[in-house]
Amino acid sequence: MDKRLPWPDYFMRIAYLVAERSTCLRRKVGAVAVRDRRILATGYNGSPTGTAHCLDIGCLREKLGIPSGERHELCRGLHAEQNVIIQCALHGVPIAGADIYCTTQPCLICTKMLINSQVNHIYFSQGYPDPLSAEMIAEAGIGFDVLEGDHGS
């Protein structure tokens, strides 16, 4: 009997490890793009390269009292999924057809980006207060599944 960790759990655990690099004070999120059981890119949420991290200067969203799931444009950071897409683009790695493993369900902005990136499937571990995200993923015909269990969170 094969007692090895199943592939989806393996990649989700890696997403949780990637999240440990996050510089966000509110929520640590990691994402991994995978095709043919090979990692294409990873991303975590945090400020753009060369700019101050929220860890160092504080959270703009906290200062403004913005609830989770609202007004994403009022934030210094990029989301983990955005950073995965950017890393693929920066290094010339096609993301179309990839599976995405996210520690948290993608928000609507990231969902729209992942749809247009033509990803195949999105796996996530924790929910997020953004019901339109799930509706748009279903409408686009992209696989969308929660991975239950302990992934190192």
CA distance 31 to 48: 16
> H/E element holding 108?
helix 108-116
Which among 62, 70, 73, 81 is annotated as catalytic? 81
pLDDT confidence band for 36 (50 / 70 / 90): very high
CA dihedral 27, 33, 38, 44 (to 10 degrees): -30
- The correct answer on CATH 3.40.140.10 for the domain covering 7-146 is yes
Taking the domains of the chain in order of start, what are their residue ranges? 7-146
State the binding site: 79, 107, 110
Q: Which residues are annotated as a binding site for Zn(2+)?
A: 79, 107, 110
- Residue 129: pLDDT above 90? no
Confidence of residue 124 (pLDDT cuts 50, 70, 90): very high
Q: pLDDT tens digits, residue range 53-101?
A: 999 999 998 999 998 878 888 899 999 999 999 999 999 999 999 999 9
pTM for the structure as a whole: 0.91
More confident residue, 64 or 152: 64
Average pLDDT on 140-147 reads 94
Q: Any catalytic annotation for residue 139? A: no
The pLDDT of residue 152 is: 65
